[in-house]
Structure 1
Amino acid sequence: MPKAAQTIHPETLRGAAHHAVAAMKVLANEDRLLLLCQLSQGEMCVGDLEQQLDIRQPTLSQQLGVLRNEGVITPRRDGKNIYYSVADPAMLDILALLYRLYCPKEA
């Protein structure tokens, strides 16, 4: 007799849905998505992010603040420079999937 599929408790699903919605809210902003895509390639300082992505300083600071507050990125100070990296491994998995689905293939 085949084994019945194991059901997941609704409260477990609710908790998972809460985390998924929070991740999607973070990604639902073009500047934040660009920042995370860039940071998924490795740690970068604020000045380099501004130059690479052509995001003006006030917007960059605001969006980095959102990502920091959500625990998605982590800062590291080195002298006058602040470097950021992706802190959430699940976010790297989501970004890899988005890249596969939406980014053009290199020629």
Structure 2
Amino acid sequence: MPLPQFSADMDPEKKEEMVANAAKASDFLKAISHPGRLMILCHLVSGEKSVTALEELLSARQAAVSQQLSRLRLEGLVVPRREGKAIYYRLADDKPRRVLELVYELFCKDG
């Protein structure tokens, strides 16, 4: 899909739509811009994880992990599920996975 072209003679509704989309994209990028949140998303790509499992994988305290999960949940990137006292998280949809693949391609792959 080609990127939209912003121009002075653009339809006002199209301009408003571009501004709204830019705001959504900016919020998404802010949500994944923290290393801890990005690592949580990376761990959740392989499937649902409990908060305890994420604490262990990240070598982080429960309060820090919960704070980052809260932000990801607020942005609609993860979905919680309670089972007894344990809370499990999974990716809300395929969008984070697609972005992580691009990030990996841009910053992690050799070549």
**SS in structure 2 opposite 1:84?**
strand
Identical pairs, percent: 40
CA deviation string 1:25-78 (max 9, x = no partner): 001111111111111221101111110111211111111111111211100111
Whether the aligned pair in 2 keeps the contact of 1:23 and 1:91 (CA below 8 Å) is no
Size of the aligned set, in residue pairs, is 100
Correspondence for 1:56 among 54, 57, 61: 61
Distance in 1, matches of 2:79 and 2:70, equals 10
Mapping of residues 1-107 of structure 1, within 5 Å? 9-104=14-109
Structure 2 alignment gaps of length 5 or more: 7-13
Normalized against structure 1, the TM-score is what? 0.83
Q: In structure 2, what is the Cα distance between the partners aligned to 1:15 and 1:30?
A: 26
Contact 1:44 1:85 in 2 (8 A): yes
The one-character-per-residue Cα deviations of 1:8-36 (angstroms, maximum 9, x if unpaired) are: 72112112111110111001111111111
Give me the whole-angstrom Cα distance separating, in 1, the residues matched to 2:83 and 2:37: 23
Q: CA deviation at 1:104?
A: 4.6
Aligned to 1:3: none
